[in-house]
Structure 1
């Protein structure tokens, strides 16, 4: 037992996070997603909307630390509208709702006057696109009758990337990938993500999606790229805003945004891949 504790403490020290709570939170989130999809797919859309609203709360606070104003009420209303439009109108609904929400949010900012308008307008537009717009693709994945299979395949892909990248990076990582942005992310961790996400994607596409395994391998490569970029984007945000984590809601992870970083960028990629497969294969 003492040997296990010493190993666990060494991993926690190198990773900068507690491994046990992180695993519990991850499994709980997977269980929540599975239950929502099995019970009613509309419930999953509500879960996504709640996660986005919590993320908006975090990102507004983060920008406020640097003196950048964002109306949390207006942005939250826009997020709810995008979620509703996506569930009812699909990709077209998401696009139209986003096109309407952006000018309305900018008009709302006019009430604050010209001081800091460019900063606030940029931060507001970024927040709308980064959170409710990208999260809308999770709803697009879940909407069809095969929504359970599609979303759980997505969970396998992102889970393999994050989990094995983390484990391999902690155990063997010696060469930083992008030290200026994320000092703990290593080339060894990236290789671990590549190997296991390709394997996980191949198995998920064959046994969950009932498609050719090689499609899953290709999609796995794509998800490693998008998930890694998503993680680096959020790391760059935190460094620019001088934050360690975007929040403290999830033990072992930080905030909602610290958990969604790879998910938000990867969801549109998987949705597009499945659309291409549906049309051409």
Structure 2
């Protein structure tokens, strides 16, 4: 039996401890509930965010697919590759301009390689090694040699590829017709004139006093003109497109050319005043002439590709096509920029 003197229940000293433990338990439970609610809220927010990202990505990919279907370009890859190439060009021209010669050698050699491979696939007999060797000679000559010696280098380069082709055909003895051999010889000379020689004129300009700024200026005008044509062709030509040269390049439109004209002239004025120290009206001349040669170069390469039955010279630059597909408007623009340098340099303001 229980002693009546014994207290009923736990000792008095245990009551405060029990209350503290109960309070701690309630606080712990409240913290656990709050933590669980926070985790639930975060999970819901993450699911919502992932849903929004997936939706935005789907819409972007759909828009990019429509643009690619309409223009034949992968927009994202085109932008990323363009930015990477632009960074290399800027670094070479702004810090050590001779580095741009290395970049030009690589670009023109790859462009010539693509062109020769396309011609060979079409049945033309073009000799790769002498073409690349003579082309490198022309580019190096353009930067290091006086102008008269550069013209001698051009004659030597053309003579090398022509004689090499004739000797190759003579040793082949495969009964190739006279007309086919003549075509091979003329096309061999054209390859030298089209890619290495036009590229070497940019090297002549680069070697001139402050020539790096002129090279950068005509490259900027060419790029912004292409971008302006791309954007305005997509927007202004949405409800009605007016092809510029449907038999040569169906995707070139007058709407795109209008946009290219506006941005090329604006860029020419800005570059003339702030970079080249020329009067503003000289910038209009600069922008207009570079735009004209760039457009002619673009259409000219399109005509060559159509004659060869190909869409791009290669697929080395995703979103752009081949290297020569990026050089098509730049190469003839180098000629215009060099001519304008000689004509407009006396107008430079100090």
TM-score, length of structure 2 as denominator length: 0.77
1:177 matched to which residue of 2?
244
1:142 matched to which residue of 2?
206
Q: Which has the higher contact order (CA 8 A, sep 6+)?
A: 1
Q: 1:226 aligned to 288, 293, 313, which one?
A: 293
**Residue 27 (structure 1) shift:** 1.3
- 2:318 counterpart of 1:254: no
Rounded to whole Å, the distance in 1 between the matches of 2:274 and 2:258 is 24
Rounded to whole Å, the distance in 1 between the matches of 2:67 and 2:205 is 35
Report the count of equivalent residues.
281
Rounded to whole Å, the distance in 2 between the matches of 1:90 and 1:28 is 33
2:62 matched to which residue of 1?
6
After TM superposition, the runs of 4+ consecutive aligned structure 1 residues lying more than 6 A away are none
**Residue 91 (structure 1) shift:** 3.0
**Residue 7 (structure 1) shift:** 2.9
1:121 matched to which residue of 2?
185
1:208 matched to which residue of 2?
275
Q: 2:75 aligned to 8, 19, 27, which one?
A: 19
Q: Deviations over 1:201-223 (max 9, x none)?
A: 10111111121121111111111
Spell out the pairing of 1:1-281 with structure 2 (5 A cutoff).
1=56, 2-113=58-169, 115=176, 116-173=180-237, 174-279=241-346
Determine which structure has more spread, i.e. the larger CA radius of gyration. Answer: 2
Greater CA drift, 141-150 or 176-185? 141-150
Equivalent pair of 1:75/1:128 in contact (CA under 8 Å): yes
Rounded to whole Å, the distance in 1 between the matches of 2:303 and 2:273 is 36
Q: Deviations over 1:56-76 (max 9, x none)?
A: 110111101111011110011
- Consecutive unaligned residues in structure 2, runs of 5 or more: 1-55, 171-175
TM-score, length of structure 1 as denominator length: 0.95
Equivalent pair of 1:94/1:133 in contact (CA under 8 Å): no
Q: What secondary structure, in the 3-state scheme, does the structure 1 residue paired with 2:148 have?
A: helix
- Consecutive unaligned residues in structure 1, runs of 5 or more: none
Rounded to whole Å, the distance in 1 between the matches of 2:223 and 2:337 is 14
**Residue 112 (structure 1) shift:** 2.4
Q: What secondary structure, in the 3-state scheme, does the structure 1 residue paired with 2:145 have?
A: helix
Q: Pairwise CA RMSD of aligned residues?
A: 1.5
Q: Deviations over 1:79-113 (max 9, x none)?
A: 11111211111432331111122122211112223
2:53 matched to which residue of 1?
none
